[in-house]
Amino acid sequence: PLHQVGPEVVLTPAEALRDYTEVVVDGVEATAVGHGKVLERDDRFSGDGPWPLLDADGRLLAVYGSHHGTTAKPEVVIAPAGG
């Protein structure tokens, strides 16, 4: 039953996406991610995506996908800028 489900068995959004290559962003990048900015893919973006973008505390900010050439764009933004 649902009322018996607690934090010990429910995954955080970041944990639920643990099989994907995670990209950790700094504070400035986190703000840009919160605004849905297209990012240049660097060596943190391995494979073809999608990539969960996390802040330094491991909180899921967005999930990005491959875009034109060497860029990535948000498929979904979870945490808005400043959130």
What pLDDT was estimated at residue 8?
A: 81
- Which ranges of 1-83 does DSSP label H, i.e. alpha helix? 13-16, 27-34
> Are the beta carbons of 40 and 69 closer than 8 angstroms?
no
pLDDT tens for residues 62-71? 999 999 999 9
Per-position b or e across 11-49, b if 16+ CB within 10 A of its CB: eeebeebeeeeebebeeebbbebbeeeebebeeebeeeb
The span from the CA of 30 to the CA of 22, in Å, is 14
- Give the three-class secondary structure for 32: helix
pLDDT tens for residues 26-60? 999 999 999 999 999 999 999 999 999 999 999 99
What pLDDT was estimated at residue 83?
A: 56
What pLDDT was estimated at residue 53?
A: 98
